[in-house]
Structure 1
C-alpha cells in the first residue's frame, strides 16, 4: 500500500513543477507527463535537454510534470541507495529530488534541472547551476544532509515499485498516468506532438507550429 507520506511527497514534487493556470477548466485539461529518470543516464539527459525542457518552455501552461530522479536505483538494507551509474549518480539524484522539494518557482526549478542534466557533472555542477537558475543552493544542501532527501528518494522508490508495467528502461515516460511502449518511443523523438495530441483544451499557438 502506498503510504500517506509517499503520496504527500509526490504531490509536493508535482506542484513544484506546475506553473499557475487561468482556472479550473485549464487545470482539468492539462496533460500529465510523468518521467522516471537518472541524473547520469545518457538517454535521460538527451530527453530532458532536447525534448522535455524546450517543450515545457513552450507548453508548460498545459502540462503537469511529475519528475522522479531514480530510475534503476535500489535501496539498500542500510537505508542508502545503489545506482546504475554509480555513487555519483545517487548523489545527483538526491540533489535533484531535494531541489524539487525546496524550490517553489517552477521556472527556476526547471532551469536548474536542465542545467544539471546538460552539464552532466552530477553534484559538481549543482552550485553553478543554482547560481545560473536563481536557486538557493544552501536549501538544497540542507535537504541533502538532513535526511529529508533520503526519505523523498525512498518515497520515489516506493512509487516506482508500483508501476505497471514495471520500469525496464530509463527514462520511463507515462502520459496521463498511463504507460505504453508507443508513447515512450514517440515522446523521446517528438514530445511536443505527444503533448499537443493529448491536450483537450483550445489549441495552443505552440501546437500550431
Structure 2
C-alpha cells in the first residue's frame, strides 16, 4: 500500500514537468548524484533546504543518493596528491572529511545527517566548528578521522576528481545534479519532479 501511495504521489508531482527521461531497468532504483563544493553557499543551501526533504517525505526509498564533495578543486598535475581549493584550506579539509564520512558510514541516513549538519554550519560561517556535529548527532568520529589523517582521504578525492573529469556532458557549475546520467542543469531545485518522473517511467516499464 505504501508503495502504491508513493507512486501516485510521484505521478501527480511529475505531471508538472515536461522533461522526459528514458526508461531504465525495473530492478534498479533511480540514481541521483550530487556534485558539490562543501563551502559554496548555493550548495549548502540546496543540501539543507531542498535535498534534506527527501528524508522527510520518504522519497529516499525510490532512489540511490550519491554525494560527491569536490566542487572547485584543482589537482596539481605534477603531484596528484595535492589539491588547490577555491575556499582553501577549509574547503579541502571539509571535502576530505565528508568523503571519508561517505566511505566509512555506508548508511546514507547517517552520512547525510553529518553532511547536513556541516553544511548548516557553513551557511552560518561556522564551518570551523564541524567537530560539534559528531557530538550533536551521537556519531563516532574516530574512523572518519583515521581516514582523513591517512592516504585514504587523498585517494577518495582523487577518485571523485577523476569521475568529474569524465562526466559527459561535463560539469558546468555546482551544485550539479545528475539523474540516471542526465544532468538537471539550472533546474536542480526541482529535482524531486525529475526523480518521480524517472521512477514512474520504471514502473510503467514493468507493465
Aligning the two structures, in what range does the TM-score lie when normalised by the shorter sequence?
0.7 to 0.9
Q: Which residue does 1:44 correspond to in 2? A: 43
Asked whether the 8 Å contact 2:65–2:108 carries over to 1, the reply is: no
Q: Deviation at 1:134? A: 3.1
Greater strand share, 1 or 2?
2
Once the two structures are TM-superposed, the CA of residue 140 in structure 1 deviates from its matched residue by: 1.0
- Bigger RCO (CA 8 Å, 6+ sep): 2
| Structure-2 change in CA distance of 1:43 and 1:123 (3 Å) | closer
Structure 2: how far apart are the matches of 1:141 and 1:81? 19
Q: Which residue does the alignment assign to 2:88?
A: 86
User: 5 Å matches for 1:140-159?
Assistant: 140-159=144-163
Question: Any idea what the Cα deviations from partners look like across 1:77-99, whole Å, max 9, x if unmatched?
Answer: 33221112221101110000000
Change (3 A) 1:27 1:125: farther
Aligned counterpart, 1:169: 173
Look up the match of 2:110.
108
Runs of 4+ in 1 over 6 A off after TM superposition: none
What residue in structure 2 maps to residue 32 of structure 1? 31
Q: Would you say 1:71 and 2:71 are equivalent positions?
A: yes
Secondary structure in 2 matching 1:35: strand
Give the RMSD, CA atoms, in angstroms. 2.1
**Unmatched runs of 5 consecutive residues or more in structure 2:** 1-24
| Distance 1:150-1:122 versus aligned 2 partners, 3 A rule | farther
The 3-state SS of whatever aligns with 2:33 is strand
- The alpha carbon displacement at 1:26 in A equals 7.1
Q: Which has the higher helix share?
A: 1
Give 1:192 shift: 2.1
CA distance in 1: counterparts of 2:127 and 2:83, whole angstroms: 16
Distance (Å, rounded) in 2 between the aligned partners of 1:134 and 1:26: 37
1:126 Cα deviation after fit: 2.6
Normalized against structure 2, the TM-score is what?
0.76
Indicate the structure (1 or 2) with the bigger Cα radius of gyration.
2
